[in-house]
Structure formats: structure tokens, C-alpha cells
Amino acid sequence: MPIKQKPYRLSKSQTEALKTQLTKLINNKLIEPSNSPWSSPVVLVPKKNKDWRMCVDYRQLNNIT
């Protein structure tokens, strides 16, 4: 059974940090845009240096696998 979750709310600074990280990953051909109806939300975790680490919350997916 596929999982579809809504994205979590992010602050303006988190949204900008996420856009920057995603652009970098796309430009380096590490990820590509997708239009899939199935998704898991992104979580931004603060690093010690005040940057953000992008993680994906796969808990619902893990619960069914």
C-alpha cells in the first residue's frame, strides 16, 4: 500500500534552506523532480553550525514494511 503524506509546515528560513539544498541536489544530478502521488514529508533538523540537515520522515512507510 503506497503512502501519501502532506508536507510539514516550514518557517520562511527553513523553506529557503530547503530550496537551496534541493537546487544543489538537482544541479548535481543526485535527485530529479517527480510528480508521483506518493510522498513522505521532509524534516529539517538543525546542525550544530546553525545550518539545516534535510531528512525524510519515512515512519509511516516503515510501519507497513
What is the grid cell recorded at 5?
A: 503524506
Name the percent of the chain lying above pLDDT 70.
100
In a domain, 8, yes or no: no
Percent of the chain with pLDDT over 90: 88
* In a domain? residue 56: yes
Q: Is residue 54 part of a domain?
A: yes
5 located within any domain:
no
Q: Name the CA radius of gyration of the chain, rounded.
A: 13
The per-residue pLDDT for range 4-33, each reduced to its tens digit, is 999 999 999 999 999 999 999 999 999 999
The number of distinct structural domains making up the chain is 1
**Would residue 62 count as lying in a domain?**
yes
| Residue numbers of the domain that contains 65 | 14-24+41-65
For residue 2, being part of any structural domain is answered with no
Q: Does residue 36 fall inside a structural domain?
A: no
Say whether pLDDT at 2 is over 90. Answer: no
